Amino acid sequence: MYIPSQYRYKDMEYNRCGRSGLLLPAISLGLWHNFGGVDDFHTARMMVRTAFDYGITHFDLANNYGPPPGSAEINFGRILNLDFRQHRDEIVVSTKAGYWMWDGPYGDWGSRKYLLASLDQSLRRLQLDYVDIFYHHRPDPKTPLEETMAALADSVKAGKALYVGISNYPPEQTERACDILQSFGVPLLIHQPKYNMFERWVESELLTTLHKRGIGCIAFSPLAQGLLTEKYLHGIPQNSRAAKPHGFLHKSEITMEKLLKIQKLNDFAASRGQSLAQMALAWVLRRTEVTSVLIGASQPVQILDAVRCLKNRQFSNDELMEIDAILSNG
């Protein structure tokens, strides 16, 4: 039987999500990779336990996480049932719809038909009555935004989601989504964009928009899928994401130019007394607009590495300039 650590709330930071009442842990765990039907269930279960033991109260899913699609929700539902039945009210579960999930015209993108059916399916797989956050996973250029946002708002009104979010939306559409949701009396809680040292598109406008509109921000792939660790410095290890046929990190993305930067960043992190993973997470969290960094993991030890980033989160201006110089020049 699993008994969570009594010290689990001691060291984690909890940040207010935009102008809402919801606090999210500075580090959240995503179940995109390593929690599917092809993965080891015991390791997945140990990772969820480890996360919770260290104060990670937020777990992020989507309808299509696996493989096969849907299996991460099934596995997480099993883990919740086995280990966390007494702790549902200590946990924030999110799921999403927006990418391909089933055949035919109603299993993809942003129609009301797709979103509400998908949420019902997710709840069945998760064995839950409601999720805490329901997201639209990506903008749909062909469906009126009003329809997609009405579906999100209605998921809240039906009691199937407590809050709603959007992911991968550009700034202008984010503002419109926020206005439309407001007109339905449902605030836009959170945006989930990709943000890490190698991908900084959010810095030009999105973060300012989120701050102005009181929307929280949870940054996904803060380690660039594992690139921003020392893992790939000496080749592609067996069992790494880049080595797996179903992994979304492609070998072609691990270029010599990137490896040179990673080596320099790794040395710089060591001079700060932390791992590169820890520095990369602290660097994303330096932006006050960021509520939480949404990490992935394949082993419990990676979660322990991540939570230690909170021990050294400060950067001097010189350090930030040094990091910028490495990132731009190599």
DSSP-derived secondary structure letter, 128: -
298 binds ligand NDP (CB under 6 A): yes
CB closer to ligand NDP, 216 vs 222: 222
Question: Dihedral of CA 267/299/26/327: which sign?
Answer: positive
| Residue 208 CA to its chain's centroid (Å) | 20
Stretch that binds ligand NDP, among 74-82, 139-147, 266-274, 294-302 (CB under 6 A): 294-302
Give the interface size with ligand NDP as a residue count (CB under 6 A): 29
Q: Which of 15, 225, 291, 292 binds ligand NDP (CB under 6 A)?
A: 225
CB closer to ligand NDP, 60 vs 154: 60
CB 149 within 8 A of CB 184: yes
Q: Which of 18, 25, 30, 66 binds ligand NDP (CB under 6 A)?
A: 30
What three-state secondary structure class fits 318? helix
Helices of type H across the chain? 41-53, 71-83, 112-126, 145-157, 171-183, 206-213, 256-271, 276-285, 300-307, 317-329
CB closer to ligand NDP, 41 vs 158: 41
Q: How many helices (H) and strands (E) does the chain have?
A: 10, 10
Stretch that binds ligand NDP, among 1-9, 25-33, 76-84, 208-216 (CB under 6 A): 25-33
CB of 204 to ligand NDP, least distance (A): 19
CB closer to ligand NDP, 78 vs 308: 308
Nearest one of 137, 149, 165, 156 to 63, comparing CA atoms:
137
Residues that bind ligand NDP (CB under 6 A): 30-34, 60, 137, 167-168, 192, 220-226, 229, 231, 240-241, 277, 294-298, 302, 305
